[in-house]
Structure 1
């Protein structure tokens, strides 16, 4: 029976993706800060679901991850869904630093722990939910877009490291567009908003086919294509006011 660990499984994309892997008969380890959603996931299949509370910004998070993996009996796939983001045109430093701690420090803490586990156990598949926001710097969300760019680059570096050391660790970088999750401020307008269930279906498909990189969905893939090709002077004059 295949085994997956999902960190950030208490809401949004992580929660919906966990439900789908449970429905497919996988052994699923779920982790996050809030105990109630984890208990609800466990109740869906008590014989196949293990859970662990952890905070990716805490020093003990890797130890808690290890405990979860042990109870699960190992893992073939690690999926990192934990993340926060804010529309912060006022540049409130508390919001920017909080974003850096979760999407930067917390991301590195957990991804290196998962990579290290796979390195010590003969390989595996490490996947992360990043964002199309990493394509260019978004003026409405500086820390969010910067940390997502960092995540994209970090996964590229780990993919190269895996090949350098012949580790048999597969990397997947999943980049959604606007998704209807609690992360989004409902007071703002979000174009091309995607239902979280459909995004979860796309994620499961990408992971089952071991994709290296995917943008969800095709509309966003086209948008990112043109974003990359805009000259700097034009990009800086665009009014992009929402968080992806």
Structure 2
């Protein structure tokens, strides 16, 4: 039977499409995000079994309180999808941009991951899903902090997967690595290829969640790119 899933960062792109996909599959869905109007529009679209809560993950203490609030409204939580993230903040200087990305993609992610893992251990079960990126597999001069932040997600989730394997609770850790997905985050990017719609990406992510996979590339063909990246010597990569 479908359970109760909360998606952190559900106001656009993959997060919004995944909320719709899981809801269509019969899940009770919680959706969070910074833009309350968009959350209300999603609730109007989906109706029953959809709960909403405004949340800014960079405000760590408030984010925990808000997560507790929506979990109480849903009367429990089985799956948490940590999707909130930015590639750049638009604040002007590189330093401000980097720190903003770190606040959301690393501090915000770690805050909710550690809290949810503790809650899943207490209740004896749970499924923690992190949305990383193919960009996590390499450093890139145009977006160094974004790529590094997603690399953190990979290693952090790997550690928590090992921790889950030594826990008495039944906890699954899934890492999703999307390639290019059509969204607000990618709308100004050039030279993209194998671009997926957010709907197709959400379908494959939902399939990976239900299969309880450790790792999934979205779309699946990006596994080939991941393999090729590993073959490129660092000296050559640094000159690209």
Deviation at 1:49, TM superposition (A): 1.1
User: Partner residue of 1:181?
Assistant: 183
Map of 2:27 onto structure 1:
26
| Structure 1: distance between partners of 2:103 and 2:194 | 29
Q: In the alignment, which residue of structure 2 is the partner of 1:139?
A: 141
C-alpha distance in structure 1 between counterparts of 2:191 and 2:225, whole Å: 17
1:91, CA displacement in angstroms?
7.2
The residue aligned with 1:127 is 129
- Give the distance between the partners of 1:190 and 1:232, measured in 2 at CA: 23
**How far apart, CA to CA, are the structure 1 residues paired with 2:177 and 2:220?**
11
TM normalised by structure 1 equals 0.92
Deviation digits for residues 170-210 of structure 1 (CA, Å, limit 9, x no counterpart):
00000001111101251533222221111111111111111
Deviation at 1:2, TM superposition (A): 1.4
Q: Name the residue aligned to 1:151.
A: 153
Cα separation, 2, equivalents of 1:6 and 1:216 = 17
**What TM-score, normalized to structure 2?**
0.93
CA shift digits 1:206-234 (9 cap, x unpaired): 11111110111233211110101211111
Unaligned runs of 5+ in 1: 239-244
What RMSD over aligned residues (CA atoms) do the two structures have, in Å? Answer: 1.8
Partner of 1:7 in structure 2? 8
Q: 3-state DSSP class of the match of 2:221?
A: helix
How far is the alpha carbon of 1:41 from its aligned partner?
Answer: 2.1
**1:75 match:** 77
For 1:232, the equivalent position in structure 2 comes to: 234
Where do 5+ consecutive residues of structure 2 fail to align? none
Would the alpha carbon gap of residues 185 and 47 (structure 1) be closer, same or farther in structure 2, given more than 3 Å must change? closer
For the residue of structure 2 that corresponds to 1:96, the secondary structure is: helix
Q: 1:45: Cα distance to partner?
A: 3.9
Give the whole-Å Cα distance in 2 for the aligned partners of 1:92 and 1:114: 32
